[in-house]
Amino acid sequence: MYHLKCIECGAEYSKDEVIYTCSKCDGLLDVIYDYSSIKIDMEKLKTECPSVWKYAKLLPIEREPVTIREGGTPLYKCDRLAEKIGIKKLYVKHEGMNPTGSFKDRGMTVGVTKALELGMSTVACASTGNTSAALAIYGAKAGIPVIVLLPAGKVALGKVAQALMHGAKVLSIRGNFDDALALVRTLCSQEKIYLLNSINPYRLEGQKTIGFEIADQLGFKVPDRIVLPVGNAGNITAIWKGFREFKKLGITDSLPKMTGIQAAGSCPIVKAIKSEAPEITPEEKPETVATAIRIGNPVNAKKALAAIRESGGTAESVTDEEILAAQKDLARLEGIGVEPASAASVAGLKKLIDMGVISRDETVVCITTGHLLKDPQTVIDVCEEPIVVDASIEAIREAIFGKMK
């Protein structure tokens, strides 16, 4: 039992309509449930392994899902990283361990399933990379055509390769992500093509399961704070909703502070939070090494600002240098390999602790959104080159022990 509702004017829409924003005011839509009709089996909830579809009763799907076993990603306790940053208890939820290597799988298993449920036969998105990869793969699994628009020269090759290999029609446009999103929205409004960017409220329903899983993996306890990268701003919105739903249903008894981290060259939400502005001012030319969050006009900005403010959280920006340093720390202290955008969460946590905004006594979960192999070129560019030696034990010993002295 659910329907769609505009977060601006309150207009309501049937679950059977193909609609992405309010037809009256163009406001963002949310999926509204009749929670009184949802019965949760706590014994099953406590014993079943985490996965997206473990929480099917809180997802807006009424048919067999299109799934490749997404979710159930590890929640690592990171003591060495915590010690370096200077915080008592730190966990990392590594969404790069999803089947396609990013958190986008959660939204796409729900979104592509909803497309089929609504009778749509083609799906499309604009992307900085991970969305296109996930949509191409879930579209292939569902047996339907996929169209993706990418900003030319601005997408990591690992992500482009995924979209190409899985048969998507990939269009590389001369423009940035925001241009691509405007174009794909127009395309989907004019053709019978289902839009699966995060402006689609059903996609965010899949992503809220990150919040469910964190609580689940902590024994149905809620951390003091969630810190995560923010690009198009759907994830922070979705995860906040997940935590609120668990509390509403009596599964947990508290809520975390939602803390969004953006790159310094692409931080409209951070600027709005710091200036206490009611809405963002879009950035026309966003730039950062963290390609996954190189977005100047996030479509879910209003939802994200609300999530941060309602939860008592905050937002901060970090430089590319801080992001790359955090990427190395995650890898070399905890063995967690992530793409640059993912490391923004850890970089932001460190900065906010140093600023005194986050207490060192807090229990914090940082979310890393994509796998290291999504963007191998950046790794090659910033890491030391392999040492070339002669094929002799003497040369190897000299290279190893000489360097170590």
Binding residue ranges: 130, 231-235, 369
Q: From CA 38, how far away is CA 29, in angstroms rounded?
A: 21
CA dist., res. 137 & res. 165, Å (int): 9
Q: How far apart are CA 72 and CA 354, in angstroms?
A: 32
The H-or-E segment that residue 3 falls in is strand 2-6
Question: Across 330-392, where does the E strand assignment appear?
Answer: 363-368
Which structure tokens are listed for 15? 């679950």
Helix, strand or coil for residue 69? coil
> Cα(400)–Cα(405) distance, rounded to whole angstroms?
9
Q: Which helix (H) or strand (E) holds 43?
A: helix 42-47
Q: DSSP class of residue 349?
A: H
Q: Quick one: which of 317, 258, 267, 339 has its CA closest to 95? A: 339
Contact 292, 154 (CB under 8 A): no
Type of residue numbered 369:
T
Rg (CA), the chain: 21
Instruction: Answer for the pair 383, 324: CB distance below 8 angstroms, yes or no.
Output: no
Q: Please tell me the distance from the alpha carbon of residue 106 to that of residue 235, in angstroms, as a whole number.
A: 10
CB of 251 closer than 8 Å to CB of 220: yes
Q: Which residues are annotated as a binding site for pyridoxal 5'-phosphate?
A: 130, 231-235, 369
Token reading at 358: 């986050």
Helix then strand count (H, E) for the chain reads: 15, 13
Q: How many CB atoms lie within 10 A of CB 290?
A: 29
- How many Å apart are CA 288 and CA 295, to the nearest integer? 9
Q: What are phi and psi of 156, to 5 degrees?
A: -60, 140
